[in-house]
Structure 1
Amino acid sequence: MIPQDKVAEIIETARVEEVIEDHVTLKRRGANLLGNCPFHNEKTPSFTVSPAKGIYKCFGCGKAGNVVNFLMDHEQLSYPEALRSLAKRYNIEIEEEELTVDQRQELNAKESLYIVSQFAADFFQEQLTQTQKGRAIGLSYFKERGFSEETIKKFQLGYSPDEWTALTDAAIEKGYQLDFLEKTGLTIVKEEKKFDRFKGRVMFPIQNISGRVLGFGGRILTSDKKAAKYLNSPESDIYHKSKVLYGIFHAKKSIVAKDTCYLVEGYTDVISLHQSGVENVVASSGTSLTIEQIRLIKRYTPNITILFDGDAAGLKASFRGIDMILEAGLNVKVVLFPDGEDPDSYARSHTQAEILSFLDSESKDFIKFKTDVLLKEAGKDPIKKAGLIKDIVESIALIPDPIIRSVYIQECSSMMGMEEEMLLTELNKSRKQKISKKLAAPNESTPQINVPEYLPQEGGKSTTKKINYQEQDIIRLMIQYGLNEIELEVDKDEKGNPIKEPFKLVEVILSDLMQDDIAFDDPTFALIYKEFTDAYEKEILLEEKHFIHHIDDTIRQVSIDLISQPYELSAQWEEKHQILTQRETDDLFKTIQSGLNYFKFKKLNNLKNEKRKLLTDATESEQYTDILLDIIKIDTSRKNLAKILGIVISD
């Protein structure tokens, strides 16, 4: 349990823009920052971060929240996990009671899997450095690979003893449940027997983007042909290999700084390049590249260079995966290492300057490279050349940007000695087929526009109701400008000059609404208004951050939606072009008066409709007369407000 004063300190200290910039490339736009949303695939940036307010909002998919919510949604963390992550980042000490066995059992299953995985990583590292067998076998292997002690510590490399239950016994002795050891794949349970999955292997912990251990890769050191050389953790609630890139935690900042990402195949490729000073590198860990992994890279850069060992023919098997990268809108290059070399061996035998020079000089644009490879393979065979044309054009057709497609068509036309018009015809045919398939069966990569619903759900179906814009505007003004001061006339002096006093905007709105005893119809707006009035009666004025960091998800989401704007006026309108623009903050009193009057006008319209219904149902003459008098009074008030608002009413 994290004390509330520490929660407040963490939220006050954490900078939403700093945390999000670890995962999203942001560019300044006025007072806010803008980038591509990490929660859905988009080409045009709609993800806005407001450092001043401490919030983010995507105007494409609707995702919004504060710095804690971002970590919870982006990294699938619980609320306490997100707070602890921020506390660690900003060096805020949290004093929590040490968990007992019973308390540990009460933690949710996912958190327990994280805890067990971290225990295993610590255990393997301790075995590597603190035991005789670990140093003689595991540490010797890493030293032979040229890994320094600093590198071994950085990547939390370890050793699993060549014993059947070393880790399992140690974990159970410390109070960890066998069930969680089995669910993470660290322990294999068969009937009454249990044994360590990674027995006798050097260990490579696999971390997520925030550094939490999700799973492991283990390499065997014996020549046992029956055992797999590399063994990975099985899928679990926290480890999904299709969504993870090895080394992303250590590489993300460098990827953003260098604006490119090197993609390799194995753990040692990543580690050796890191140790050589090339840190913007990640690995797919031997799995075929997935769309989730591609999107993960795209959060940090649109540029990816794939490093391959072996000859060009071996690369053909990877063409389909690279086509997926093109379709996601990334720029792809490839580098082939000399025969007998791979990223690991090359990094160990060359300096940082030599590696960077090699990568720069040998990187080739993928489309050109693929065309060259297939042209050599086709030779003078016309049938193969026809197939080559179709293959190349299909890759180009995947590229979202029409200008880039056009450039590639021109270059391929020159390389293949074919008319550009013929390639364009084939390109259009390919794109038409692809679009038809997408229209017939849209997939998850198609971004969906999410219109926020402010009403609760019933029976699993969304309740639809038109938003009351007048109520919405009043709530927005109270949240966004509640503590802004406005001066109001309270009296006149002896000479008839006005005497003014400062009031908080929220005081003016609340006193006005409470005097007329006006209620809100929308349930969420009603809850927010009640919080304002309850606090006001205790002489407390709630501020914006109270709602931005609200414990209730719906109130927090609605509040952030209300105060977030997709656009802001450029300062150049006034500074450069001398065009004066009107802002609602220029005259807040006029803004709230207008908002209150529209709100009351809407309420009077609704009340009149209710009275009309009662009038038709009235059975007694006296009752009929009373209702009619009420309608006349309502109409008088409506007409007075309509005159102030400049509205023409016909009934």
Structure 2
Amino acid sequence: MRINPETVERIKHAADIVEVVGDFVSLKKKGANYSACCPFHNEKTPSFNVNPSRQIYKCFGCGAAGDSIKFVMDIDGIGYGEALRYLAGKYNIEIEEEELTDEETIRQNARESLYIILNFAKNYYQHQLHHSEEGQAIGLSYFRERGFSNEIRKKFELGYSLDNWDSFSREALAKGYSAEVLEKAGLLIHKEGSQTAGYDRFRGRVIFPIHNIAGKTIAFGARILKSDKNQPKYLNSPETEVYHKSEVLYGIYQAKNAIRQLEHCYLVEGYTDVISLHQAGIENVVASSGTSLTVEQIRLIGRFTPNITILYDGDMAGIKAALRGLDLVLEEGLNVNIVLFPDNEDPDSYVRKVGAEAFKAHLKKASKDFITFKTEILLQDAGNDPFRLAAVIQEVVNSIVKIPDAIKRQVFFHRISEMMRVDEQMLITEGNKLLRKQQSAKPADRQPRQSGAAPGGGPTTWTPCSAIARLPANPPPIRPFRKKLRRKRFSARNCITRKRHSCACS
């Protein structure tokens, strides 16, 4: 079906660019316009501009530009028609459609077909949870046991898959959906060479729909409730054209407004952690869904806030493993805090045990910045072993230099010198060595590539700045007297090593 031109015009007039972009990016007013860090490329300084009077956006860094419809298309990776439907839903505009020809129907966007079947699956699983005997006896009982109210189940669109081989796929095929689309959406498993249509991926499990930032269902997580050593406890949708798990955070659609308003995001591990905290009134929370935190997920959070607190259970082995990957968060310029829960407790169990108010109090009391937390954990392991203590210093300094802001680096060098009782200048010197190594590696990485191609075949986002472009092809050599001046200026400084041993500054 095609949306008729009159409806398209109504959608265009109703869609306010500030409201539409504000659903995906945290905008700040700057004069008559609004600005933010661009969601289409990685940047630390805002170059993304929204003009409410002209109803357009423009990024002066990567060149992305357009109106509300174009923004939704690009941010969510969907077609023109699907973007119009999203905006119509946002502004409660009734869609009037026209019949498509057979040829136009065949050319329909494949991504839209996946969204449609995934939405059908979500509705099917919800129906089974509330209206089938098996769903009520097993699935609904489980959610009630966890304390999930009817409102919270609706908010997260929870469901249940029946415990037989093909109940969902038979229903979908009867409604006219093809087995090929079901398989592409990750809902149907078809063994090569088999004469049957295949079997359902999710069977006998409670269902957690996974939404993208616009609220569309893009995948499912499913938990088995019976004891079966041959089945994994959690089963997730495979990667599809609309679902890339490294770019998705569970609960981001339900949490984005709270994150923006409170300027803070809590990061947990599991689906039930997110849902339990929402029920306790803590809505600015998302989950990595059991995967290691990725740069794409960090940047997704960074669209709404620079402040993130990661909530860990008391499993020390798991925490130490996770700490190794958190330097990524520092590199993206986010302010990272850590909260640890007592042994055998996770956010879900702890909030149900102590209640919402005591849980919030614990978050405030137990919160520590990442660098301090990491130092304390590593020092516990090192004990009094001098070699292990030296390794701890190296490890912590390596994390500090990942922070882009020089002032923050200085603050952390000072704090760590007090914690470890080591000379602050020594830490700074070691940090500067690492920074120089990083900077010396950058020119090779930033050479312009032939034909604008980046590794992996994508377009490169780096462009030489105008100042570099204006440099002469053969710049004159540095004059000797400038070198001498630099030596004199350096010699005039008070070298921190002079009192301990002779050096070039003496």
Distance 1:44 1:108 in 2: 35
Matched, 1:405 2:405: no
Q: Which amino acid aligns with 2:389?
A: K
Number of the residue aligned with 2:473: none
Distance 2:210 2:105 in 1: 23
Shift of 1:449: 4.3
Label 1:181 to 1:350 Cα distance change in 2 as closer, same or farther (>3 A): same
Shift of 1:318: 0.7
- Match for residue 309 of structure 1 among 294, 297, 313: 313
Label 1:339 to 1:98 Cα distance change in 2 as closer, same or farther (>3 A): farther
Number of the residue aligned with 1:192: 195
Q: Summarize the alignment of residues 21-40 of structure 1 with structure 2, pairs less than 5 Å apart.
A: 21-40=22-41
Number of the residue aligned with 1:8: 9
Distance 1:363 1:98 in 2: 57
Matched, 1:448 2:462: yes
After the TM superposition, which of the residue ranges 198-207 and 353-362 deviates more from structure 2?
353-362
The CA deviation string for residues 216-252 of structure 1, in whole angstroms up to 9 with x for no partner, is 0111111001100000000010110000000000000
Which consecutive residues of structure 1, in runs of 5 or more, have no partner in the other structure?
452-651
Asked whether the equivalents of residues 60 and 450 of structure 1 are also in contact (C-alpha less than 8 Å), the reply is: no
Asked whether the equivalents of residues 332 and 366 of structure 1 are also in contact (C-alpha less than 8 Å), the reply is: yes
- Match for residue 279 of structure 2 among 268, 275, 278: 275
Distance 2:238 2:77 in 1: 19
Shift of 1:98: 8.2
Matched, 1:373 2:377: yes
Label 1:104 to 1:348 Cα distance change in 2 as closer, same or farther (>3 A): farther
- Match for residue 236 of structure 2 among 208, 212, 232: 232
Distance 2:350 2:341 in 1: 8
Q: Summarize the alignment of residues 251-262 of structure 1 with structure 2, pairs less than 5 Å apart.
A: 251-262=255-266
The CA deviation string for residues 160-183 of structure 1, in whole angstroms up to 9 with x for no partner, is 100100110000000001001001
Asked whether the equivalents of residues 41 and 447 of structure 1 are also in contact (C-alpha less than 8 Å), the reply is: no
**Structure with greater proportional helix content:** 1
Distance 1:313 1:182 in 2: 38
Distance 1:20 1:357 in 2: 34
Shift of 1:44: 1.0
Distance 1:363 1:441 in 2: 37
Number of the residue aligned with 2:399: 395
Q: Which amino acid aligns with 1:448?
A: W
Distance 1:108 1:29 in 2: 38
Q: Summarize the alignment of residues 485-504 of structure 1 with structure 2, pairs less than 5 Å apart.
A: none
Structure 1 counterpart SS, 2:221: strand
Q: Which amino acid aligns with 1:236?
A: T
The CA deviation string for residues 392-411 of structure 1, in whole angstroms up to 9 with x for no partner, is 00000100000000100010
Structure 1 counterpart SS, 2:324: helix
Shift of 1:30: 1.0
Number of the residue aligned with 2:476: none
Number of the residue aligned with 1:430: 434
Q: Which amino acid aligns with 2:54?
A: K
The CA deviation string for residues 517-539 of structure 1, in whole angstroms up to 9 with x for no partner, is xxxxxxxxxxxxxxxxxxxxxxx
Number of the residue aligned with 2:475: none
Q: Which amino acid aligns with 1:379?
A: G
Number of the residue aligned with 2:74: 73
Asked whether the equivalents of residues 309 and 337 of structure 2 are also in contact (C-alpha less than 8 Å), the reply is: yes
Number of the residue aligned with 2:223: 219
Q: Which amino acid aligns with 1:121?
A: K
Matched, 1:318 2:361: no
Asked whether the equivalents of residues 260 and 280 of structure 1 are also in contact (C-alpha less than 8 Å), the reply is: yes
Shift of 1:293: 0.4
Structure 2 counterpart SS, 1:389: helix
The CA deviation string for residues 267-313 of structure 1, in whole angstroms up to 9 with x for no partner, is 00000101111000000000111100000000000000000001444
Distance 1:132 1:69 in 2: 45
- Match for residue 422 of structure 2 among 401, 415, 418: 418
Label 1:117 to 1:98 Cα distance change in 2 as closer, same or farther (>3 A): farther
Distance 1:261 1:309 in 2: 17
Label 1:447 to 1:403 Cα distance change in 2 as closer, same or farther (>3 A): farther
Label 1:57 to 1:226 Cα distance change in 2 as closer, same or farther (>3 A): same
Q: Which amino acid aligns with 1:256?
A: R
Distance 1:133 1:311 in 2: 35
Shift of 1:351: 3.1
Q: Which amino acid aligns with 2:401?
A: A
Asked whether the equivalents of residues 139 and 206 of structure 2 are also in contact (C-alpha less than 8 Å), the reply is: yes
Shift of 1:375: 1.2
Structure 2 counterpart SS, 1:339: coil
Q: Which amino acid aligns with 2:97?
A: E
Distance 2:42 2:460 in 1: 7
Label 1:188 to 1:98 Cα distance change in 2 as closer, same or farther (>3 A): farther
Asked whether the equivalents of residues 62 and 449 of structure 1 are also in contact (C-alpha less than 8 Å), the reply is: no
Aligned length: 451
Distance 1:215 1:35 in 2: 29
Label 1:273 to 1:103 Cα distance change in 2 as closer, same or farther (>3 A): farther
- Match for residue 350 of structure 2 among 346, 349, 353: 346
Q: TM-score, normalised by structure 2?
A: 0.86
The CA deviation string for residues 331-371 of structure 1, in whole angstroms up to 9 with x for no partner, is 00000011121011122233332222211111110101111
Label 1:378 to 1:241 Cα distance change in 2 as closer, same or farther (>3 A): same
Number of the residue aligned with 2:123: 122
Q: Summarize the alignment of residues 138-149 of structure 1 with structure 2, pairs less than 5 Å apart.
A: 138-149=139-150
Shift of 1:62: 0.8
Which consecutive residues of structure 2, in runs of 5 or more, have no partner in the other structure?
447-453, 466-506
Label 1:217 to 1:311 Cα distance change in 2 as closer, same or farther (>3 A): closer
The CA deviation string for residues 127-165 of structure 1, in whole angstroms up to 9 with x for no partner, is 110111110011111111111111111111101100100
Structure 2 counterpart SS, 1:321: coil
Shift of 1:436: 2.7
Asked whether the equivalents of residues 247 and 282 of structure 1 are also in contact (C-alpha less than 8 Å), the reply is: yes
Structure 2 counterpart SS, 1:9: helix
Label 1:101 to 1:170 Cα distance change in 2 as closer, same or farther (>3 A): farther
Asked whether the equivalents of residues 62 and 450 of structure 1 are also in contact (C-alpha less than 8 Å), the reply is: no
The CA deviation string for residues 242-269 of structure 1, in whole angstroms up to 9 with x for no partner, is 0000000000000001101100000000
Asked whether the equivalents of residues 104 and 112 of structure 1 are also in contact (C-alpha less than 8 Å), the reply is: no
Matched, 1:164 2:165: yes
Distance 1:210 1:3 in 2: 23
Q: Which amino acid aligns with 1:118?
A: N
Asked whether the equivalents of residues 158 and 207 of structure 2 are also in contact (C-alpha less than 8 Å), the reply is: yes
Q: Which amino acid aligns with 1:5?
A: E
Distance 1:241 1:433 in 2: 33
Asked whether the equivalents of residues 266 and 286 of structure 1 are also in contact (C-alpha less than 8 Å), the reply is: yes
The CA deviation string for residues 414-439 of structure 1, in whole angstroms up to 9 with x for no partner, is 11101011101110111122223333
Q: Which amino acid aligns with 1:162?
A: D
Shift of 1:70: 0.6
Number of the residue aligned with 1:336: 340
Asked whether the equivalents of residues 25 and 299 of structure 1 are also in contact (C-alpha less than 8 Å), the reply is: yes
The CA deviation string for residues 92-147 of structure 1, in whole angstroms up to 9 with x for no partner, is 11123689999765422111111111110000000110111110011111111111
Distance 2:86 2:97 in 1: 14
Q: Summarize the alignment of residues 599-610 of structure 1 with structure 2, pairs less than 5 Å apart.
A: none
Q: Give the fraction of aligned pairs with identical amino acids, expressed as a percent.
A: 56
Shift of 1:47: 0.7
Distance 1:198 1:121 in 2: 12
Matched, 1:152 2:153: yes
Asked whether the equivalents of residues 4 and 98 of structure 2 are also in contact (C-alpha less than 8 Å), the reply is: no
Larger radius of gyration: 1
Q: Which amino acid aligns with 1:201?
A: R
Number of the residue aligned with 1:88: 89
Distance 1:416 1:39 in 2: 41
Q: Which amino acid aligns with 2:382?
A: A
Distance 2:444 2:83 in 1: 40
The CA deviation string for residues 35-79 of structure 1, in whole angstroms up to 9 with x for no partner, is 111111111111110011100111111111111111001111111
